Amino acid sequence: MKSHSILSVLLILLAAGCVDRIYFDVGNNVPFTIVAEGHISDQPGPYRVELNSAFDLESKLARTAISAKQVVLSDNLGNREVLANIDKGVYQTNPDGIHGTVGSVYTLRIELFDGRVYESKPDTLYASGSIDSVYHSFKEEKSPNEVSVYSFDIFFNASAATKNNYNFLWKFTGTFQCDTHPELKDIVHDGAPCINGKCNFYELCSGIRNISVFNDLLRAEFVRVAPCSCCTCWYDIFNNIPMVSDGQFVRDGRFTAIKAYTLPINHWIFQHKVYVTVTQESLSRQAFAFWKGIKDQKTAANSLFQPISGKIPGNFKQISGPENPIEGLFYATSIASKTILIRREDVPNPRILPPDYPWPASCLILFPNATTEKPPFWTD
């Protein structure tokens, strides 16, 4: 019971640490407001744009994808590309198509079937500078009931490319692996559904099957017929509040000892190791105002005393057609990043790592952002 309680708390913490979709406070009396999101960068494409209907901040209802007649990305040098519609409300450039370059200015044009046309304000792609170093510091704190809680504070040092632009968006990503044991699931009370009249009792993804002609547990015969497809997963943890270069001390274009995240030390996250990546995205003044607005809104939502800020400043304007509001941002950015590896051996005292807990279920339901596909950078 104690293990399950600890696990429940961990699940809540991890879910809270993951990035949610952006919720725009557009008010209750504005129907069918469009939300447009996307960016172009100096990294290899393709670049993606998403079009959806907006929803109220309080209700957090699912978005509805919006179809466009045409979505066009262009720059100030005469380059132009019509984005392909790859999914409902999702438009994407060709991998060999238009590419972001420092100094260029980009505009996104959205044409809807009812004659409405929207354009983003021109956005300049500034140089990103660099993430100079990423490091961690071990921390021990006491919970309200005087139990020790251990973690690593993640810090980084960064540099601006020029003294003309200190506007940046910083992102943290922590990637870890967990192994679970769906074959240990309680087959009496939590049996898998029957297939072709034959009950399997085990999770189907475990690769274990009932090969007998009997559908009762006492006479079933179980064998492994395939590898387990849900025993090993990888997960990403993100910072849920945007980090923008707002108020940090800058000296000679350098940001020092910026805290990116507090990474809990527990069996799940440190079952193997953690890849920690910090990225730095350059921002124009208008893109910076947008991300700062997101940060202020999220910070206010978590505060008992600070009122939720007003509408987040987007950068779209309507050109023609029946008047209808649009929110969101299309921006140009240069991206720099640095990754470090934190191992179990980096925990100062191995005794503080909780004992192995064989989770008896699919790894896909253990934490959010789960995938059974090994990341390309992961090494065993």
Mean pLDDT calculated for residue range 265-280:
94
d(CA 136, CA 156): 9
d(CA 165, CA 162): 6
pTM metric for this prediction: 0.81
Of 97 and 19, the one with more pLDDT: 97
pLDDT the model gives residue 194: 61
pLDDT digits (tens, 9 = 90+) for 8-24: 344 434 434 433 444 44
Task: Indicate the range of 3-12, 165-174, 268-277, 314-323 predicted with least confidence.
Answer: 3-12
d(CA 125, CA 41): 8
Residue of 316, 333, 332, 336 lying closest to 324 (CA atoms)? 316
pLDDT digits (tens, 9 = 90+) for 199-242: 667 778 888 887 777 666 667 778 888 999 999 999 999 998 99
Say which residues have a Cβ less than 8 Å from residue 12's Cβ, sequence separation at least 6.
none
Q: Let me know: does 193 contact 266? Beta carbons within 8 Å.
A: no
pLDDT band at 3, cuts 50/70/90? very low
DSSP three-state, residue 360: coil
Q: Let me know: does 36 contact 72? Beta carbons within 8 Å.
A: no
How far is CA 162 from its chain centroid? Answer: 29
Question: Residue 102 carries which DSSP code?
Answer: T
d(CA 319, CA 316): 10
Task: Report whether pLDDT(179) > 60.
Answer: yes
pLDDT the model gives residue 252: 84
pLDDT the model gives residue 302: 60
d(CA 173, CA 165): 24
Q: How far apart are the first and last CA of the chain?
A: 32
Residue of 48, 106, 133 lying closest to 332 (CA atoms)? 106
Cis peptide before 46 (omega within 30 of 0): yes
Q: Which residue has the tokens 């238009």?
A: 98
pLDDT digits (tens, 9 = 90+) for 101-130: 999 999 999 999 999 999 999 999 999 999
Residue of 23, 90, 97 lying closest to 61 (CA atoms)? 23
pLDDT band at 94, cuts 50/70/90? very high
Task: Indicate the range of 2-11, 136-145, 333-342 predicted with least confidence.
Answer: 2-11
Residue of 255, 241, 228 lying closest to 300 (CA atoms)? 241
- DSSP secondary structure string, 28-73? TT-TT-EEEEEEEESS-S--EEEEEE---TTT-PPP-B---SEEEE
pLDDT band at 303, cuts 50/70/90? low
Q: Let me know: does 174 contact 237? Beta carbons within 8 Å.
A: yes
